[in-house]
Structure 1
Amino acid sequence: MLETVNTTGMQGFNKSERCPRDTRMTQLLFPVLYTVVFVAGILLNTVALWVFVRIPSNSTFIIYLKNTLVADLIMTLMLPFKILSDSHLAPWQLRGFVCTFSSVVFYETMYVGIMMLGLIAFDRFLKIIIPFRKTFVKRTAFAKIVSISIWSLMFFLSLPNMILNKEATPPSVKKCASLKTPLGLQWHRVVSHTCQFIFWTVFILMLLFYVVIAKKVYNSYRRFKSKDSKHKRLEVKVFIVMAVFFVCFAPFHFVRVPYTYSQTTNKTDCRLENQLFIAKEATLFLATTNICMDPLIYIILCKKFTQKIPCMRGIRSAAPSEDHHSTQTDNITLA
């Protein structure tokens, strides 16, 4: 699950020589932007970690949130390697480490986070549709099993991308694809398509879940308090997760298909290949900003989270009426 691949064997090396990558923007602009995201991500996710260790894992909702936090923390810790590598401030050996390990882990945890957001949507969907019925999927055991399965799936998908590589040399690390064996290139293509399937499946399901949830909330407020403006704010909260999910991840997945194709064949024009590279890097940065968005989602939508933060307790207590209209509106807390 490296950043991309381009060709096989000596053909990949020759292509690297014929079509040198334009790294002016990625060397100057993106390291600065990633540094800002890294600092913000460390601060926000450290606070979130401090809060979540004080919240017991007694619900599926909290378990999914904690797994999302772990994925975000690991993604954040991989950023310094990318920053140093892209800015050319580190020796070429670090670039080899980025290609064979840190970027693989980065992508692995990004898709764990994507699937966790989908599970959070599913969890809230169940609590709106069948709030009082006891089912296995609402038990913490189910959440733990699913979470372990997702981590295991992404680990086994990613592991070959760490193994199926040639020995790094100064010329070969200019493009991560030049490090991959022919089998590694084929595996990367399979993983890339699998990740596309994961994202779009999760996105479509989340869209369906949130449409149903929003409809339920709207009907509930229409019946009980049609003139109350609070339901409008609650409807906005319903779509916060969907909006963040789409804005952060959708552009990257639109670009990744043609970009991966350009890297796995010799048929792409050199200029177009560089344009796709810049587009991929820009949308990947947008996807990375999700590590800063998730802690804000915890604050806005998770009551237990804000109750553990001293400076946030007054916000909840100042607006108690938002939580007692009905069981359905109480269950709408999302993350």
Structure 2
Amino acid sequence: MGPFTVLYILIFVIGLPGNLLSVWVFMCSPRAKQQSTSVYLVNLLVADLLLLLALPFKIVKDLGAASWSLMVFHCQASAVAMYISLYASIAFLAFIIIDRYLQDCHTLRSLRLQEVGFARLLSVVVWLLLLLIMVPNMALPIQEVQAQRYLSCSSLKKDIGLHWHALTVFLCTALFLNASAAVLVSSGLALKRLLGSRSDPKLWTNARRAMVSVTAVALAYILSFVPYHVARTPYTLAQTKVIKECHIRRQLFLGKESTLLLTVLHLCFDPLLFFYLYTPFKETVRKMIPCTRNHTDSETEEEAAEEMMQPASSAQQQDAV
């Protein structure tokens, strides 16, 4: 675990300042609660903060420096919190991708889906669903294990705990597959709209902007979460003792840890998504940097003009509907 631990420490050191800065910027942004995009971004930030709180426990455990009680706490609580954060990030990144596509489709239905109230309700449903799936992993009784230097979390679980853990993995995999399907459909529709607007320069510009946004988030989604789920399912079979060969179990464990590292890496990139996708966030950050203050006013005026044009286009579409 030595190389993995070093990389986890680097990710934590790099990701912590960026996410704390994101918290401060969202608190200072004047319009942080007026768009569906901001609701999903704030929830993504909450998921990142939950991961940042849980990550030090994993680092200490993997270093072999944790006490026995701390290792048990990690298996029962902080490791579960990491997976809650992981699947919350998957869900909210998928919502962001869908929302970016809907911003380019000014139909009556898309406008209703982009209502702030609907975005908040959807966010609450996601958190409640994840807690319902994950919390039993914390609450189910564990068996007594003799204290030792290293601890495999699966060795603490009784049979009912192992079965629920396997069920949790497959339920979360189903969530991932549904989110991935939504990402693929949104990306495909954005590409179709881009290709269909080549004859109109104005529509081409708007469609290209939407396509770039969707592609950027979709790439982050694929790189962070797809490899992990390729490795996760066979590793669960090793945890539940369906696969018993020691060599295969060791390789599956290393594969799971390597791909889990990619999922944690999104802590470093999410602040860049906040800056790129949300205009008030971008404006607040630019005001903090002296060298960009001279350019902020003119760029803000251009962005404000674009935002004024979008409601007009939306109203025309509604009249047409």
Cα distance in 2 for partners of 1:68, 1:125 equals 18
Where does residue 37 of structure 1 map in the other structure?
11
Q: 1:293 to 1:262 in 2, by over 3 A?
A: same
Structure 2 gap ranges (5+): 315-321
Offset of residue 237 of structure 1: 3.4
TM-score in terms of structure 2 length: 0.85
Q: How does 1:50-129 map to 2 (within 5 A)?
A: 50-55=24-29, 56-129=32-105
Say whether the 8 Å CA contact 1:96–1:168 is kept in structure 2: no
Partner Cα separation in structure 2 for residue 224 and residue 316 of structure 1: 27
Query: What CA distance in whole angstroms lies between the structure 2 residues aligned with 1:197 and 1:111?
Result: 11
**1:121·1:206 contact (CA, 8 Å) conserved in 2?**
yes
The one-letter code matched in structure 1 to 2:143 is K
Give 1:221 deviation, angstroms.
5.6
The question of whether the paired residues in 2 share the 8 Å contact of 1:172 and 1:178 is answered with no
Change (3 A) 1:156 1:269: same
Mark the CA change 1:136 to 1:301 in structure 2 (over 3 Å): closer, same or farther.
closer
Q: Counterpart amino acid of 2:179?
A: V
> Could you tell me how far 1:248 is from its partner in structure 2?
0.7
1:255-308 deviation digits (Å, cap 9, x = unpaired): 001111111125431101101100100000011001111111111222221011
Of residues 133, 142, 148, the one that matches 1:157 is 133
Residue-by-residue CA offset, 1:144-193 (whole Å, 9 max, x unaligned):
11111111111121111012223454149621011111111110111100
Q: Counterpart of 1:19? A: none
What is the deviation of 1:54?
2.2
Q: 23, 43, 60: which one pairs with 1:49?
A: 23
2:233 is the alignment partner of 1:257: yes
Distance 1:267 1:308 in 2: 52
Residue 277 of structure 1: aligned partner: 253
Displacement of 1:226: 9.6
Distance 1:225 1:62, change over 3 A: closer
* 1:54-82 C-alpha deviation (Å, 9 max, x unpaired): 23311211111100000011101211111
Residues 40, 95 of structure 2: 8 Å contact kept: yes
1:204 corresponds to which residue? 181
Q: Which runs of 5+ in 1 are unaligned?
A: 1-25
1:16 aligned residue: none
Q: Classify 1:188/1:240 alpha carbon distance in 2 versus 1 (closer, same or farther; 3 Å).
A: same
- Shift of residue 132 of structure 1? 5.5
Matched, 1:175 2:152: yes
User: Does the CA-based 8 Å contact 2:16-2:52 persist in structure 1?
Assistant: yes
Give the C-alpha shift of residue 318 in structure 1.
Answer: 5.2
Q: What is the one-letter code of the residue matched to 2:280?
A: K
Deviation at 1:219, TM superposition (A): 4.0
**1:300 aligned residue (276, 281, 286):** 276
C-alpha distance 308-186 of structure 1, shift in aligned 2 (>3 A): same
Determine the C-alpha separation between the residues in 1 that align with 2:94 and 2:103: 14
What is the CA RMSD across the aligned residues, in angstroms? Answer: 2.9
- Looking at structure 1, the residues matched to 96 and 211 of structure 2 have their Cα atoms a distance apart, in angstroms, of 17
Displacement of 1:250: 0.4
Q: State which of 201, 214, 226 in structure 1 corresponds to 2:191.
A: 214
Equivalent pairs: percent with the same residue?
Answer: 32
TM-score of the superposed pair, with normalisation by structure 1: 0.81
- Larger relative contact order (CA 8 Å, sep ≥ 6): 1
Q: 1:97 is aligned with what amino acid?
A: F
Give the stretch that moved more between structures: 252-261 or 212-221.
212-221
The equivalent residue for 1:224 is 201
Write the distance in 2 (CA, Å) between the matches of 1:81 and 1:40. Answer: 17
Structure richer in helix, relative to its length: 2
Q: Distance in 2 between matches of 1:109 and 1:284?
A: 12
Residue 288 of structure 1, aligned match among 257, 264, 276: 264
